[in-house]
């Protein structure tokens, strides 16, 4: 009689945004369904994850219509290796406006970069949308 090793349960893939709960329980529930992110911070995390996965449709859909570009064309950009996201501050100004300050680390062509930005978000109905951001010169 052959003994089979017990199969290990599938380990949840880590979420690119850095949340320990895993992709499916974190950003995946927004990127892979019609469920809106409940806070501007959750939207910021899911947008970072969308950048890491090249999910242009999600990025455009979560961009406020008054600020949204017509297209992103991420595939035409130099390949980016996303290294991590750190949320520095999340401030909800009122029921429909919020700020999220973050640092995103990435490499292009082997060279490391940091994007330190304070992003503005507006809630339209039940959905948060990215509007604009101020980049901090570090």
Look at residue 33 and tell me if it is in a domain: yes
Least confident window among 16-20, 54-58, 92-96, 105-109: 16-20
pLDDT at 20: 82
Look at residue 91 and tell me if it is in a domain: yes
81 vs 44: CA distance, rounded Å: 18
Domain count, the chain: 1
Least confident window among 69-78, 96-105, 111-120: 69-78
Q: What is the pLDDT of residues 14-34, one digit of tens each?
A: 899 998 889 999 999 999 999
Please give the mean pLDDT across all residues of the chain. 90
Give the structural domain span for 126: 28-135
130 vs 40: CA distance, rounded Å: 8
> How many residues appear in the chain?
138
pLDDT at 14: 87
CATH of the domain at 90: 3.10.450.50
Look at residue 8 and tell me if it is in a domain: no
Instruction: Say if residue 120's pLDDT is above 50.
Output: yes
138 pLDDT tier (thresholds 50, 70, 90): confident
pLDDT at 11: 46
């Amino acid at each position: 009689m052959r003994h089979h090793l017990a199969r290990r349960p599938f380990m949840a893939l880590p979420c690119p945004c850095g949340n320990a709960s895993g992709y499916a329980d974190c950003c995946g529930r927004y990127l892979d369904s019609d469920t809106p992110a409940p806070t501007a911070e959750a939207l910021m995390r899911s947008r970072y994850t969308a950048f890491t996965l090249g999910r242009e449709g999600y990025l455009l859909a979560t961009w406020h219509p008054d600020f949204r570009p017509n297209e992103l064309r991420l595939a035409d950009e130099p390949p980016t290796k996303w290294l991590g996201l750190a949320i520095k501050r999340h401030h909800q100004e009122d029921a429909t406006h919020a700020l999220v300050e973050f640092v995103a680390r990435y490499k292009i062509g082997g060279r490391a970069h940091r994007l330190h930005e304070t992003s503005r978000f507006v809630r339209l109905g039940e959905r948060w949308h990215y509007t604009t951001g101020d980049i901090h010169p570090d």
